[in-house]
Amino acid sequence: MASAAALLKSSFLPKKSEWGASRQVAAPRPVTVSMVVVRASTYADELVKTAKTVASPGRGILAMDESNATCGKRLASIGLENTEANRQAYRTLLVTAPGLGQYISGAILFEETLYQSAVDGRKIVDILAEQGIVPGIKVDKGLVPLAGSNNESWCQGLDGLAAREAAYYQAGARFAKWRTVVSIPNGPSELAVKEAAWGLARYAAISQDNGLVPIVEPEILLDGEHGIERTFEVAQKVWAETFYAMAENNVMFEGILLKPSMVTPGAESKDKATPEQVAEYTLKLLHRRIPPSVPGIMFLSGGQSEVEATQNLNAAQDALLLRAKANSLAQLGKYTSDGETAEAKEGMFVKNYSY
């Protein structure tokens, strides 16, 4: 009986009659290497230009994207009914403030406003363009409960987003806003963080594909008793996940804008932070997590201060311009609170805020 070694040898060695053929070396086959191809958006150059314009020095974004219901609350505070005519007058007041474009580079609009005309018949987007202000549009559909989470939320609105944004671009919008939130008191759970990051990444990719610069906003809610270190820890995790998800979705970082939350203690925390501490932690977060290719980082008030509008047109526009100038100076590092009213220094935090 042949040994196992002999059987193996006879099985793998060619027969003597085949040796001549076996000495011939076959021509190497062409090797196909699978490569990931990142397709640049057809709007790539325009996206970069828009992002740089909105992030221009000394100017910032006017958030006038209140829903009709929220706008109605403002009108009710001065005894006005929530009608389209009154909303039109209120929005006309904002966009026609003389010299607003000196301090404002972009305006986030609600859908009704994007297609709305001012009181004098001119389209609101045209008035903004005359002021040198880029029109933007709120595109998310609001927060809903996230099943399987610790009583947390996720942001809806991806269904049909591409078609809606294509129409918004035709109407004059050039950037978009999508707000999702992360709650520290409720965890945050791994599920909620990943859902927020992936939703933002899909929104950003769809927006760029339709010519709109996406403002990426995973808001760390102020609610809670936690300290500033806990906020910093969570923010690092959220932004790491968000940029990873955007990279996976081939989002062009040069064509986005960020709206991070400032790193602060929870609103109910016993350990208050000084402005210097907030600045230190916020800058440390940005240095650790934000790629240098991102052209602009925009902070909204974040619960800091507010000036209420009045029924007097000139006084209301003066108040708007005063606030816009103050934010312009802050962006340039030149702001001081000298001359500010006590009302302007009051906090704006609203627990469990939604709009």
Which residues are known catalytic residues?
217, 259
255 close to 48: Cβ distance less than 8 angstroms? yes
Residue pointed to by tokens 């965890």: 187
Bridge-based pairing state of the strands 143-145 and 153-155: antiparallel
- Distances in Å between the alpha carbon of 26 and those of 18, 29, 127? 15, 9, 72
Three-state secondary structure along 37-104? Answer: CCCCCCCHHHHHHHHHHHCCCCCEEEEECCCHHHHHHHHHHCCCCCCHHHHHHHHHHHHCCCCHHHCE
- Strands 60-64 and 104-109 come out as parallel
Query: How far is 242 from 193, CA to CA, in rounded Å?
Result: 9
Q: Which residues contact 210 (CB under 8 A, 6 or more apart)?
A: 43, 162, 165, 166, 168, 169
Burial environment of residue 98 by CB neighbours within 10 A (0 to 12, 13 to 18, 19 or more): exposed
Q: Are 184 and 268 in contact (CB under 8 A)?
A: no
Sheet containing strand 175-182, edge to edge, reads 60-64, 104-109, 134-138, 175-182, 213-220, 257-258
List residues bridging with 176 in a β-sheet. 137, 214
- Helix, coil or strand: residue 141: coil
